[in-house]
Amino acid sequence: MGPAPMASAMHMAVHPETVYAHSAVVLAGFIIGIAVLGAVIIETCTRSFISTASRRAHTDVAAAMLGTIGTTYAVLLALVATVAWEGYNHAAVATQDEVTAIASVLLATDGLDAHDAAPVRAGLIAYTRGVIEDEWPAQAAGMLPALVSPVITRINLLCADLQPATAAATNIQSRLLSAVTRLAEARSMRLHLAGVTLPGIVWTTLLFGGLLTICAGSFVAAPSLRSHLVMSSVLALSGAMVLVLIVALSSPFRGAFALSSAPYAEVLAALTPPPRG
């Protein structure tokens, strides 16, 4: 692997957040291109230092070594991909839970009179708009908003300051406070998952694990240089495809495959009264 590609790959391993600054096509092309180019360079260099006759004499040992290393790397890829997929799904569920909690607060205000319901609904509109316009772009840039939302705190105070005069009004206030609590908990979970990603050591292990697998494959004898280059490239491509998947899923709120804020826009539309014609 040449100095420039290796430097780029190492920078990505040590600073994994840089991968989210690129489009999906560029990212996939970079990872796959680095993997295939590395396989070609490694195979070419191996042939320069180890004769074909020597490799053929030890091809059984090399094949066994490749099988062991390849299986270990495949298990590692599968494990990391599973962790990334589960994290992505958890983030999607947390997002939906927050949207559901916003809708629950809105529904609970139906039992209030217009004077008491108006400021609560205005707070919900401000909160939801803030998530869409401020927090979602901040998450996409790798910045986490404040854990405690002043708007949710204000909504909670509004609900707590209600003076229910009947048992029914007391039940409505209890429903409101419970719904606001669930909203705060859902927000906390979303922000927690937005800050969780695969650590740099994992990316470094994946990078060098792939490099080691390709190196092991270069010691297996093949009928010709062309056939060996094709086999090494296919081996590198298969691992690179999984790496692309891991990168796409490892940070659910960043990159080309980030979760959308569309559910919040839908609930905002329900919160915002239509303009009068």
- Do 54 and 190 fall into the same domain? no
| Span 22-45, average pLDDT | 73
Task: Provide DSSP, 51-98.
Answer: -HHHHHHTHHHHHHHHHHHHHHHHHHHHHHHHHHHHHHHHHHHHHHHH
* Domain of 14, in residue numbers: 3-86+200-250
| Banded pLDDT at 12 (limits 50, 70, 90) | very low
Q: Which amino acid is at 212?
A: L
Higher model confidence: residue 221 or residue 160?
A: 160
Same domain, 182 and 267: yes
CB contact at 8 A, 84 and 246: yes
pLDDT digits (tens, 9 = 90+) for 88-102: 999 999 999 999 999
pTM for this entry: 0.77
Domain-embedded: residue 95:
no
Whether residue 277 lies inside any domain: the answer is: no
d(CA 32, CA 167): 65
Residue 124 lies in a domain: yes
- Give the per-residue pLDDT at 10: 43
Does residue 239 fall inside a structural domain? yes
- Predicted local confidence at residue 237, as pLDDT: 82
What's the confidence (pLDDT) of residue 80?
93
Tell me: do 77 and 11 sit in the same domain.
Answer: yes
Tell me: do 138 and 11 sit in the same domain. Answer: no
Residue range 227-242: average pLDDT?
80
Total domains, the chain:
2
Task: Report the mean per-residue pLDDT for the chain.
Answer: 82
pLDDT score of 13: 44
Q: Which two tokens stand for residue 63?
A: 């094949």
Tokens 């204000």 locate to: 154
Rg (C-alpha) for the chain, rounded Å, is 27
226-241 average pLDDT score: 79
